[in-house]
Amino acid sequence: MSGRRGWAWPLVPFYAAGLAAKDGLRRVGALRTRRLKWPVVSVGSLSAGGAGKTPVVIALAALLRARGWAVDVLSRGYRRGGRGAERVDPGAKDAARRFGDEPAMIALRTGVPVWVGAERYAAGMAAEAASGPHPRGVHLLDDGFQHRGLARAVDVVLVTSEDLGDALLPAGNRREGLGALNRADVLVVREEEREIVLPRMSGRLAAGAAIWTVRRTIELAVTPPGLDSGLGLVAFCAIARPENFVAMLRATGIRVVDSIAFSDHHRYTGEDMRRITEVLRLSGAGAFITTEKDAVKITTDLRTRLEAVAPLLVARLHAEFVDSDAVIRELEGRIS
């Protein structure tokens, strides 16, 4: 197995022992699992980030809404400034800071209620109280595979080719081993990785587990003049796998002349803007480009500083299921 942080290999056995201890406590009923009134569809992964969970949550929200379900999203709101369980207001000042960058992005993109809270059960209770009785209500639990204190009707798990050779935390980025996939009801793989990932799944999935294939594309909200003629861009982002963002841009024909990566969920500052603009000046690029998740964290003041130098483009990662009809049939069959 590969390790991102070689110095942390001696700590991996302790992390694995902690996982085994939790599993043991669950088997004897010492760890409580609570159930909401509405069914819960958990979307998670083996890795700590970068698997593409958020675009899948957005895609599932759209499919369920189109079928008449009352959909909301429950999220921890990683590194949020707010407290307790609260509904995300994507139009609020510093929404990403208060609610978390991914919840703010999901609320902005989907228009469905997004509730955040360190205790996802409390967030779900608040969501159900706010919605009132509904015969077809469903919660989407964002990043929920390891959050086993909340009962779910469906466990949807994303696996990437990178996960296959990764190591457990803290040396690698995997929260659990491949053996944990026997808890999955649905496995989601990327279209371009299907032939790599599926052969490794033999014997790991539970009987009856479904396999969904997702196709990912990059979309630009605005296409600037000169992009088709090879306008050079400086890409910057604060996501778990920044190299994938740059690779996808280049695969779509976008000319990235330089890039800057910050740590996942990084909060941008004026000094960051200065550094980014300096890279653009030295590279001779004509515009900046970042992800939708990053864009919600860039305040009006910081954005003004960037756009005084060059245009800022926002790339939206769009996910769609290769067979969406089969996906919604499978999903409704499990939650109805």
Assigned token pair, 150: 């909340």
Q: Which two tokens stand for residue 179?
A: 């053996």
C-beta neighbour count of 303 within 10 angstroms: 15
Q: What CA–CA distance (Å, rounded) separates 12 from 155? A: 26
Calculate mean pLDDT across residues 28-52: 94
Distance CA 113, CA 15 (A): 35
Does 223 have pLDDT greater than 80? no
How much is the average pLDDT of 74-90? 94
Residue 1, pLDDT > 70, answer: no
> What is the model's pLDDT at position 325?
97
CA atoms of 42 and 185, how far apart (whole Å) = 10
Band the pLDDT of 79: cuts 50, 70, 90: confident
Contact 321, 212 (CB under 8 A): yes
* Terminal Cα distance for the chain, rounded: 40
Find the mean pLDDT for residues 161-169. 95
Evaluate whether 155 touches 185 at the Cβ level (below 8 Å): yes
Token pair belonging to 196? 């790599």
Q: What is the rounded average pLDDT of the residues 156-176?
A: 96
Of 193, 161, 164, which is closest to residue 177 (Cα–Cα)?
164
Q: Which residue has better confidence, 138 or 32?
A: 138
| Other beta carbons less than 10 A from residue 75's beta carbon | 27
Q: How far apart are CA 229 and CA 59, in angstroms?
A: 32
- pLDDT per residue over 89-135, tens digit each? 999 989 999 999 999 999 999 999 999 999 999 999 999 999 988 88
pLDDT of residue 221: 73
Beta bridge partners of 142: 43
Cβ(76)–Cβ(48) below 8 Å:
no
Host H or E run for residue 251 = helix 242-251
**Do the beta carbons of residue 33 and residue 150 sit within 8 Å?**
yes
Is residue 227 very low, low, confident or very high in pLDDT (cuts 50, 70, 90)? confident
Can you say whether residue 274 is alpha, beta or left, with left for phi > 0 and alpha for psi between -120 and 50 degrees? Answer: alpha
Residue 3, pLDDT score: 59
Of the pLDDT bands very low, low, confident and very high (cuts 50, 70, 90), residue 222 is confident
Q: Is the pLDDT of residue 300 over 70?
A: yes
Q: Are 88 and 115 in contact (CB under 8 A)?
A: yes
Q: pTM (2 decimals)?
A: 0.94
Domains contained in the chain, CATH given: 6-18+31-216+320-335 (3.40.50), 225-310 (3.40.50)
Percent of the chain with pLDDT over 90: 88
Mean pLDDT of the chain: 94
Instruction: Flag whether pLDDT at 332 surpasses 70.
Output: yes
Per the document, the length of the chain is 336
b/e burial code for range 3-42 (CB count within 10 A of at least 16 → b):
beeeebeeebeebeeebeeeeeeeeeeeeeeeebebbbbb
pLDDT of residue 50: 86
Please tell me which residue, 177 or 225, carries the higher pLDDT value: 177
Percent of the chain scoring above 70 in pLDDT: 98
Q: How confident is the model at residue 2 (pLDDT cuts 50, 70, 90)?
A: low
What sections of 89-218 are H helices per DSSP?
95-99, 101-110, 120-131, 161-164, 194-197
d(CA 111, CA 107): 5
Please determine, for residue 40, whether its predicted confidence score (pLDDT) is greater than 70.
Answer: yes
Please list the residues that pair with 99 across neighbouring strands. Answer: none
Of residues 336 and 294, more confidently modeled: 294
Element (H, E) at 137: strand 137-142
Q: How far apart are CA 73 and CA 92, in angstroms?
A: 18
Handedness of CA 49, 51, 57, 62 (dihedral sign): positive
Higher pLDDT, 58 or 49: 58
Higher pLDDT, 230 or 73: 73
Contact 142, 106 (CB under 8 A): yes
pLDDT of residue 134: 83
Whether residue 170 has a cis bond before it, omega within 30° of 0: yes
- Considering only CA atoms, which of 30, 56, 27, 25 is closest in space to residue 43? 56
Residue position matching structure tokens 């009006």 = 300
> Is it the case that residue 330 has pLDDT exceeding 70?
yes
pLDDT greater than 50 at residue 254: yes
Whole-number Å distance between alpha carbons of 122 and 190? 33
